[in-house]
Amino acid sequence: MNTSGSSTRTVEVIRVGTIGLEKDYPGKQVVRLRDVSKLYEGPLRGLATAKRCAFRTGHGITMAEFCRITGLSDENLAQQSGEPNPNVENLKSRHIIDMRFLVPTLQATTIAVEDLFDRIRGKRLAGINVEMWDQISGAYLGTFNTDKHGTLILPTDREFVEVLQWKLAGGGYSDCFNGERAAGMPGLFFYFPCNEGAGTTIKSFSGVSGQQAELPGGVSPFWGWYDSGFFHRPALRILQDAEPLQLMGADPLGRRSFQFLWYCADPSRAHPLFAYSLDAFKLQVNNTGVLEGSVLGGQESTQGRTPLQPETWYLIQINAELVGGWNPQGGGGSGAYEYQVTMQVYLGGALELSIVPAGSLSPLMGVPGSSTLALLTGVENDGFDEIRHLPRWLYPTEITSYATFLKNGRVESKSQGSLGSPGW
């Protein structure tokens, strides 16, 4: 973890346990923060002295010199050697350890070991403020404090939190902390945070699907990037009306859901916004400036009730259900593809429109189950961010909680984007 400015400090993060592990939501992570910068600063105290004294001790003196200093006679030397028929001259030519340097060597070594221990132990970062973000969505989670031991409790049990990043008081951002998964978005199929900010490729969050998508038209003047979107980071931008962005979704049969942030530049222009699996599910802005959903080629359609505002971010959440397939008895007995379809669209956390046809419908173009493509489209200066796809529905309570999480996470001077305002 590097601090801002010319100086740096290295903070070691030690995982020491978890709190309250449960079946549905993994518990809070407990870590301990220590400043171990001194581990890399200067030589250890006493190490040079220990090395010098150890050399003098190991170098030693001859036995003849030792006998001269101590007054040891040749007879006593021969007797103390313990050898049968010792050669006194040979004994005197041998070297022995110089005991005068043994104690200083041990003392200096002890000082060096204690210095090294203090550096490895580091300085506990006690009683400091730590600001935290959800690294994936960019939502600001608030300020947390370390205790007197430098212990910090990470909010990994918070709903929709995936990867934590934090900033220490006085500067310094952590790397992403990939601890145990938080509640997150259960069962993500793909997730595009749209934070590349350059180039023509967006990448899904690793660990979800790992897929990537090329922006239609490649470089400008079709698709590009806003420097800052809903959160204070880049977001996709439509520079000119162009072909839609294509993402590979899950098999459309069953219950599926999509979520994305959409920057509405101009709601007065009717245009498509979202389509999934050929003409199975579509969402558009109609000529009255509200959302309108349709299923299976427009056989059933419903419009919303909320007038869309220009230069505003909206959270769109779509629940789609497609059940059916080839029916040998359909089409008057000649056989036909028939589906039961349901589509619900939420604006923020509130239900905007719902389509529930009374009976089975036959597709007008192609077979919906044969295509997994999800398309995002807009008009000039529209934007997209936080594009998610789950191979299941989100329940109304989850949708409301997710909308609240994103909206409350956009905090002034913390994660506040510079483009547009929340429209819910």
The pTM score is 0.75
pLDDT of residue 270: 94
What's the pLDDT at 59?
57
- Every domain of the chain with CATH number 2.60.120.200 lies at 190-422
Counting residues of the chain whose pLDDT is more than 70, the rounded percentage is 82
Cα atoms in the Cβ-side hemisphere of radius 13 Å centred on 417: 29
Where does the chain hold its CATH 2.60.40 domain(s)?
1-36+122-184
Least confidently predicted of 11-25, 49-63, 200-214, 349-363 = 49-63
Q: How many residues does the chain have?
A: 424
DSSP string, 185-220: STT-SEEE-----SSSEEEPPTTTT--EEEPTTSST
Inter-residue contact 375 to 320 (CB < 8 Å): no
Strand order across the beta sheet in which 271-276 lies: 245-248, 373-376, 271-276, 281-285, 291-295, 300-303
- CA 365, 260, 382, 247 dihedral sign is negative
How far apart CA 192 and CA 210 sit, in angstroms, is 10
Mean pLDDT of 127-133: 89
Q: What is the mean pLDDT of residues 283-302?
A: 95
Average pLDDT taken over every residue of the chain: 82
pLDDT grade for 330, boundaries at 50, 70 and 90: confident
Options 2.60.120.200, 3.30.2130.30, 3.40.50.300, 1.10.645.10; CATH of 190-422: 2.60.120.200
**pLDDT tens-place string over residues 347-378:** 999 999 999 999 889 888 888 878 999 999 99
The pLDDT value given to residue 180: 47
- The H-or-E segment that residue 106 falls in is helix 102-121
Is residue 82 pLDDT above 60, yes or no?
Answer: yes
* CA-to-CA separations, 335 to 167, 323, 356, 360, in angstroms, rounded: 63, 17, 24, 13
Which pLDDT score, from 0 to 100, does residue 2 have?
A: 40
- State the amino acid at position 119 in one-letter form: R
| C-alpha to C-alpha distance for 346 and 20, rounded to whole angstroms | 33
Determine which of 52-61, 127-136, 202-211 has the lowest per-residue pLDDT on average: 52-61
**pLDDT tens digit string along 239-277?**
988 789 999 999 999 999 999 999 999 999 999 999 999
Radius of gyration of the chain (CA): 35
Cβ burial, residue 334 (10 Å; 0-12/13-18/19+): exposed
Q: pLDDT class for 15, splitting at 50, 70, 90?
A: confident
pLDDT at 311: 95
> Given pLDDT bands bounded at 50, 70 and 90, which one contains residue 153?
confident
For residue 54, give the 3-state DSSP assignment: helix
* Structural element, H or E, at residue 290: none
CATH architecture type of domain 1-36+122-184: Sandwich (2.60)
Q: Does the structure show a pLDDT above 80 at 293? A: yes
Higher local confidence (pLDDT), 193 or 136: 193
The packing angle between helices 63-70 and 74-81, to 10°, is 120
Is 70 exceeded by the pLDDT of residue 78?
A: yes
pLDDT value for 6? 40
Angstrom CA distances, 83 to 78, 89, 142, stand at 8, 13, 79
Distance separating alpha carbons of residues 225 and 199, to the nearest angstrom: 9
Q: Are strands 223-226 and 212-214 parallel, antiparallel or unpaired?
A: unpaired
- Whether the per-residue pLDDT at 200 is higher than 70: the answer is yes
